[in-house]
């Protein structure tokens, strides 16, 4: 049953990613048609998007740890945490990640790093204080799964595509305003494409962001299912998620730039359909339901 959940979430992620890729190709075609730049414009935008993502990919972990005021954990001070990470890394078949601690009584955790060889798991002191052993193990297994599933690299590729679409949309809008390009508006086909291009230039960034958020939620479900495989005890993570949801203490180290990294959103926001639509995490109730069905 657990393996079925993992396979289903992987299929959904890659299918959504495939449609995202096709969406990028379509935007590149429209951009070339509207501006008259052809493939050159789309390739230029792709290069810029990759350069923008390069810094994030290689240095984001250092920046996030500094923003979060995290410090390296020691075996003497955090013996059980260190042993738990060590054991789960062996079970996951990946190198042991570096462990950092945030001195904050609000319970939460996140993983960062570009691959398993350069990974970090960071937990708050509140998480260690408020979780029992099975719950703490479930949370660590979830973060370990993000590392093992290469979620950071996967979402980096998504970020590149979002950046590409944002650049193409902005350049298309500027083309409309300044009347640039070599558009063939005499033909009926050309006029139809022009209308489509105008609509997509306006809506594409929003569509791209929604697809990015949908992919992020899929990867959270995948990490939950993978964590259940690592621990062989889905109830541990399910119970931890319920505790995290009930704990309303704000995490002072978190902000909107880092909130998406945590196992649950540390910024207390109102629950609504729109909020769930624009959230990087799926509803905790649904996550718990899926875990207990495994």
- Tell me the catalytic residues: 143
The pair phi, psi for residue 268, each rounded to 5°, is -65, 110
CA–CA separation, 172 and 180 (whole Å): 9
CA–CA separation, 282 and 294 (whole Å): 17
CA–CA separation, 237 and 228 (whole Å): 8
Provide the b/e sequence for 170-196 (b: ≥16 CB within 10 Å): ebbeebbeeeebebeeeeeeeeebbee
Q: Are 100 and 70 in contact (CB under 8 A)?
A: yes
Query: In angstroms, what CA-CA distances link 230 with 72, 233, 238?
Result: 24, 8, 14
- List 122's β-bridge partners, or say none: 100, 110
């Amino acid at each position: 049953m657990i393996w079925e959940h993992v396979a289903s979430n992987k299929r959904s992620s890659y299918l959504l990613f495939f449609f995202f890729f096709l969406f990028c190709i379509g935007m590149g075609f429209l951009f070339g048609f509207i501006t008259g730049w052809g493939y050159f414009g789309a390739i230029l935008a792709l290069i810029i998007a990759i350069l923008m993502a390069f810094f994030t990919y290689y240095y984001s972990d250092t920046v996030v740890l500094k923003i979060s005021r995290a410090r390296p954990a020691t075996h003497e001070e955090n013996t059980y945490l260190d042993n738990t990470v060590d054991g789960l890394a062996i079970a996951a078949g990946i190198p042991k990640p570096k462990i950092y601690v945030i001195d904050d009584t609000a319970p939460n955790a996140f993983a960062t790093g570009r691959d398993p060889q350069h990974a970090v798991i960071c937990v708050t002191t509140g998480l260690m204080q408020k979780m029992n052993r099975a719950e703490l193990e479930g949370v660590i297994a979830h973060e370990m799964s993000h590392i093992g599933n290469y979620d950071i690299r996967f979402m980096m590729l998504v970020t590149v595509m979002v950046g590409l679409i944002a650049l193409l949309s902005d350049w298309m809008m500027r083309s409309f305003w300044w009347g640039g390009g070599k558009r063939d508006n005499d033909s009926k086909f050309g006029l139809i494409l022009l209308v489509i291009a105008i609509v997509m230039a306006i809506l594409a960034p929003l569509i791209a962001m929604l697809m990015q958020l949908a992919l992020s939620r899929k990867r959270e479900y995948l990490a939950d299912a993978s964590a259940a495989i690592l621990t062989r005890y889905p109830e541990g993570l399910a119970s931890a998620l319920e505790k995290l949801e009930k704990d309303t203490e704000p995490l002072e180290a978190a902000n909107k730039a880092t909130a998406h990294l945590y196992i649950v959103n540390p910024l207390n926001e109102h629950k609504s359909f729109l909020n769930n639509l624009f959230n990087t995490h799926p509803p905790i109730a649904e996550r718990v339901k899926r875990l207990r069905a495994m």
